[in-house]
Chains A and B, each alone.
Chain A
Amino acid sequence: MHPFTNITAVAAPLDLANIDTDKIIPARFLRRLREPGYEKLAFHDIRYDADGKDRPDFVLNQAPYKSAKILVAGANFGCGSSREAAVYVMWDYGIRSVIAPSFGDIHYGNELQNGMLPVVLPDATCQKLRQQLREKPGAQITVDLETQTVTGPDGATYRFEIDVNHKERLLKGLDDIGLVMQNIKEIEAFEKKHHEEMPWLA
């Protein structure tokens, strides 16, 4: 997994709350294999019109935001379906961090699993950042995991909280399987006891 340390990049404001994972990648695309061109599926139905042309009102279609690597969204980002493809399409587009007041639980975990950093900041802060990004298209934001700070387009800094284990894994780019298998002795001992107590599960 790619380690995440820090990023300074163009950020795009996504002003909708409750962006569900069906918006990030519609279900009919889930059978696509993750191949070159996959990033075209990101936000598909709000990004393109019926003829497949870019919708001018969608932020990532607007020139200064096209190269965004950071998104600032509204509450409950990534709610709904567990589809990890929602992370894949954003990653392949180039997104490396999403800042929002809250996330759907499963999607939050999926971002972490792929080296993408979900940052939780208060709603008022996210609104302020989105406004600043609208006023200065192409403005950059810095997200620093080590110091747990976000630096806005005006230089103001904001601290975010993140679970210490999640932070360590992201900084080091650790794959959970390797971590788990370090505990194989405990795992096998547990399973033996568990199945002795409940043999019908063996």
Chain B
Amino acid sequence: MPQTLFEKIWNRHVIVQRGENEALLHVDRNFVHEGSFHAFKALALDGRKVRKPRQTFATADHYVPTRNREQGLAAVTDPEMLHMLDLFEKNAKANGIENYFGLEHPQQGIVHVVGPELGITQPGLIITCGDSHTSTHGAFGAYAVGIGASQLKQILATQCLWQKQPKTLRVTVDGTAPAGVTAKDIVLAIIAKIGTAGGTGHAIEFAGEAIRALTMEGRLTVCNMAIEAGARSGMIAPDDKTYAYLAGREFTPRGLMWDKALLFWQSLPTDAGARFDREVTLDAATLAPMITWGTSPEEAISITAAIPDPATASDADKRSHMEQALRYMDLAPGTPVDGLKIHRAFIGTCTNGRIEDLRAAAAVLKGRKSVVPAWVSPGSSTIKRQAEAEGLDKIFIAAGFDWRASGCSSCAAMNGDSVPARERCASTSNRNFEGRQGKGARTHLMSPAMVAAAAVTGKLTDVRKLMGI
């Protein structure tokens, strides 16, 4: 019987079946970051230790400072944050976790950037992490899910996870994306179409010409935001681009093991005729660079559009949310978004902090200057070094951007890199909820090139017009 990519992975990982659709699944890779302290504490209170440290990968990202990093821990001035980093290291040591990429490790970075770039993330695996953006790893054809602290504790103790089998949703994006339309714009368009609860209860597979055309980094951006459509997981079938990306990375198999792994990976893509519970399609040719105007990732429109009127909302809840969003964001229906003044610009995060994202922003910034405070935090220390080798740092600095160390930074501002109240920040991150980047902060999500364009004009700007494309 034809199977989907998701079904093939799920079926291969079932240890015990309970009832019709709940299974105890084996977890191949469990990632942890500093937020894991609740889980580790509960584990220790139970008198337990991590059962499979070799399948556990730890990286410090949420609380690491992005400034004065050369000072190491001395750069962490907040005692609570210092405590988080300290607990994280203690927990890793106490449990024999050798795959530990702490604050001062040369390969430290944001967990969902480090996993793929080191080849830890591979096709056909079940991957977990105590972070909702774990869906990112699905770009390699893995079933990657975010979990809470209690489930993290279970995985640390057992290397297994009870899961109710989700339904399947295929989002097919066919056609060719026009110039200036990036992976970020594609996924924002998908979320705008299906809504922040559109994928709830489903595992999403992204398919179609426009998805295939994306690089691995573009695919990571798309899968990163599956959770913003309500889906715990999003995945893209592996193909030659995936295998080329993986070859030679630190944790990727070599020699005979590579040959075996490759055969397994090539068996994974969805079979012709396989059935999905739901199907949605988009035409990439109709897309434009997107920006979010509201306080939900689904409140996104083309840069060429105007702020929508809540009266046109399809239901009372949406209308009420839009009205509240307009109040919080201090925006009026009917205002064209092109030309909206911004106060800050931020490039980074697990959504758009990779080398191609930095290159795209640098291409816009070259020879121009930011007119607002702006900063960039590369997705990992490795990417930062690569960017420096390419001279991108000089471009960012010449444009007036603060070139910072790697961390989650202003995504959720948990390390203190916050945006002041009532200021608009053009951001490459993934959430624009009220207060996400700081109490009262106003977030506008967009692609790296669009953030760069907004930085140099001081307004939301159609990057295609700025660049003449």
Measured CB to CB, the nearest residue on chain A to B414 is A27
Find residues 102-158 in chain A having any chain B CB closer than 8 Å to their own CB. 102, 104-107, 109-110, 113-114, 123
Q: Is B244 at the interface (CB under 8 A from chain A)?
A: no
Q: Is A5 at the interface (CB under 8 A from chain B)?
A: no
Q: Is B197 at the interface (CB under 8 A from chain A)?
A: yes
Q: Is A53 at the interface (CB under 8 A from chain B)?
A: no
With a cutoff of 8 Å between Cβ atoms, the chain A residues found around residue B277 in the complex are: none
With a cutoff of 8 Å between Cβ atoms, the chain A residues found around residue B418 in the complex are: 28
Q: Is A63 at the interface (CB under 8 A from chain B)?
A: no
With a cutoff of 8 Å between Cβ atoms, the chain B residues found around residue A17 in the complex are: 317-318, 320-321
Contact of B230 among A34, A104, A165 (CB under 8 A): A104
Taking the nearest CB of chain B, how far is it from the CB of A192, in angstroms?
Answer: 11
Chain B 40-53 near chain A by CB (<8 Å), digits 1 or 0: 00000010100000
Q: Is B261 at the interface (CB under 8 A from chain A)?
A: yes
Contact of B434 among A22, A74, A88 (CB under 8 A): A22
Contact of B16 among A106, A176, A183 (CB under 8 A): A183
Taking the nearest CB of chain B, how far is it from the CB of A125, in angstroms?
Answer: 14
With a cutoff of 8 Å between Cβ atoms, the chain B residues found around residue A177 in the complex are: 46, 48, 153-154, 157-158
Number of A-B contacts defined by CB within 8 Å? 164
With a cutoff of 8 Å between Cβ atoms, the chain B residues found around residue A31 in the complex are: 63, 80-81, 83-84, 414
Contact of A34 among B38, B232, B433 (CB under 8 A): B38
CA distance A30 to B197 in the complex (A): 25
Say yes or no: B16 contacts A186, CB within 8 Å.
Answer: yes
Q: Is B305 at the interface (CB under 8 A from chain A)?
A: no
Taking the nearest CB of chain A, how far is it from the CB of B15, in angstroms?
Answer: 5
Taking the nearest CB of chain A, how far is it from the CB of B41, in angstroms?
Answer: 9
With a cutoff of 8 Å between Cβ atoms, the chain A residues found around residue B84 in the complex are: 31
Say yes or no: B15 contacts A187, CB within 8 Å.
Answer: yes
CA distance A199 to B125 in the complex (A): 13
With a cutoff of 8 Å between Cβ atoms, the chain B residues found around residue A202 in the complex are: 54
Say yes or no: A190 contacts B321, CB within 8 Å.
Answer: no
Taking the nearest CB of chain A, how far is it from the CB of B193, in angstroms?
Answer: 16
Known: A30-B35, A31-B84, A186-B16. A106 touches B158 (CB 8 A): no
Say yes or no: A76 contacts B196, CB within 8 Å.
Answer: yes
Find residues 36-92 in chain A having any chain B CB closer than 8 Å to their own CB. 45, 74-76, 79-85, 87-88
Surface stretch bound by A, among B19-27, B181-189, B345-353 = B19-27
With a cutoff of 8 Å between Cβ atoms, the chain A residues found around residue B125 in the complex are: 201
Chain B's interface size range is 35 or more
CA distance A42 to B439 in the complex (A): 15
With a cutoff of 8 Å between Cβ atoms, the chain A residues found around residue B147 in the complex are: 82, 106, 109
Q: Is B164 at the interface (CB under 8 A from chain A)?
A: yes
Taking the nearest CB of chain B, how far is it from the CB of A141, in angstroms?
Answer: 21
Known: A17-B321, A105-B232. A165 touches B413 (CB 8 A): no
With a cutoff of 8 Å between Cβ atoms, the chain B residues found around residue A179 in the complex are: 162
Say yes or no: B151 contacts A109, CB within 8 Å.
Answer: yes
Contact of B197 among A75, A164, A200 (CB under 8 A): A75
With a cutoff of 8 Å between Cβ atoms, the chain B residues found around residue A107 in the complex are: 148
With a cutoff of 8 Å between Cβ atoms, the chain A residues found around residue B160 in the complex are: 180, 187
Say yes or no: A106 contacts B132, CB within 8 Å.
Answer: yes
Q: Is A173 at the interface (CB under 8 A from chain B)?
A: no
Name, among A107, A197, A198, the residue most crowded by chain B CB atoms within 10 Å (CB to CB). Answer: A198
Q: Is A6 at the interface (CB under 8 A from chain B)?
A: no
CA distance A47 to B147 in the complex (A): 27
Say yes or no: B414 contacts A80, CB within 8 Å.
Answer: no
CA distance A85 to B146 in the complex (A): 15
Known: A27-B412, A198-B264. A79 touches B320 (CB 8 A): no
CA distance A198 to B253 in the complex (A): 10
CA distance A56 to B164 in the complex (A): 41
Say yes or no: B413 contacts A27, CB within 8 Å.
Answer: yes
CA distance A176 to B149 in the complex (A): 13
With a cutoff of 8 Å between Cβ atoms, the chain A residues found around residue B132 in the complex are: 80-82, 106
Say yes or no: A82 contacts B197, CB within 8 Å.
Answer: no
Taking the nearest CB of chain A, how far is it from the CB of B233, in angstroms?
Answer: 10
CA distance A34 to B253 in the complex (A): 42
CA distance A199 to B146 in the complex (A): 26
Taking the nearest CB of chain A, how far is it from the CB of B103, in angstroms?
Answer: 15
Say yes or no: A22 contacts B232, CB within 8 Å.
Answer: no
Name, among A18, A20, A83, A181, the residue most crowded by chain B CB atoms within 10 Å (CB to CB). Answer: A18
Say yes or no: B151 contacts A163, CB within 8 Å.
Answer: no
Say yes or no: B317 contacts A74, CB within 8 Å.
Answer: yes
Say yes or no: B260 contacts A198, CB within 8 Å.
Answer: yes
With a cutoff of 8 Å between Cβ atoms, the chain A residues found around residue B18 in the complex are: 165
Taking the nearest CB of chain A, how far is it from the CB of B388, in angstroms?
Answer: 30
Chain A 4-27 near chain B by CB (<8 Å), digits 1 or 0: 000000000001111010110011
Say yes or no: B230 contacts A114, CB within 8 Å.
Answer: no
Say yes or no: A104 contacts B436, CB within 8 Å.
Answer: no
CA distance A130 to B147 in the complex (A): 30
Name, among A27, A28, A74, the residue most crowded by chain B CB atoms within 10 Å (CB to CB). Answer: A27
Say yes or no: A84 contacts B320, CB within 8 Å.
Answer: no
Q: Is A194 at the interface (CB under 8 A from chain B)?
A: yes
Contact of A102 among B15, B200, B431 (CB under 8 A): B200
Contact of B439 among A26, A113, A163 (CB under 8 A): A26
With a cutoff of 8 Å between Cβ atoms, the chain B residues found around residue A161 in the complex are: none
Known: A31-B81, A177-B158, A187-B158. A82 touches B413 (CB 8 A): no
Known: A76-B196, A106-B147, A200-B261. A180 touches B24 (CB 8 A): yes
Measured CB to CB, the nearest residue on chain A to B39 is A84
Contact of A105 among B19, B158, B201, B260 (CB under 8 A): B201
With a cutoff of 8 Å between Cβ atoms, the chain A residues found around residue B431 in the complex are: 22, 80-81
Which 7 residue pairs across A and B have the least CB separation, nearest first?
Answer: A113-B150, A200-B253, A17-B317, A84-B148, A110-B148, A84-B149, A27-B412
| Seed contacts A106-B146, A123-B317; 12 additional CB < 8 Å A-B pairs | A22-B434, A31-B81, A31-B84, A80-B132, A81-B412, A113-B151, A163-B164, A165-B18, A177-B153, A180-B160, A183-B24, A186-B15
Q: What are 13 A-B contacts defined by CB distance under 8 Å?
A: A17-B320, A18-B321, A22-B412, A22-B434, A31-B83, A81-B431, A83-B35, A105-B230, A106-B147, A106-B227, A176-B150, A199-B260, A201-B125
